[in-house]
Amino acid sequence: MPNRTIRIDNLHLTVSGISRADARTLGEDVARHLAKNFPSSKAGSVDALHIRVSFPKSAIRSSLAQTIAENIARRIR
Render pLDDT for 27-39 as a digit per residue (tens, 0 to 9): 889 888 888 877 6
What whole-number distance in Å separates Cα of residue 64 and Cα of residue 54? 9
pTM for this model (two decimals): 0.72
What whole-number distance in Å separates Cα of residue 32 and Cα of residue 46? 18
Amino acid at 36: K
Residue 19 pLDDT level (bands cut at 50, 70, 90): confident
User: What are phi and psi for residue 38, nearest 5 degrees?
Assistant: -85, 140
Domain extent listing, the chain: 20-76
Rounded to the nearest integer, the mean pLDDT of the chain is 78
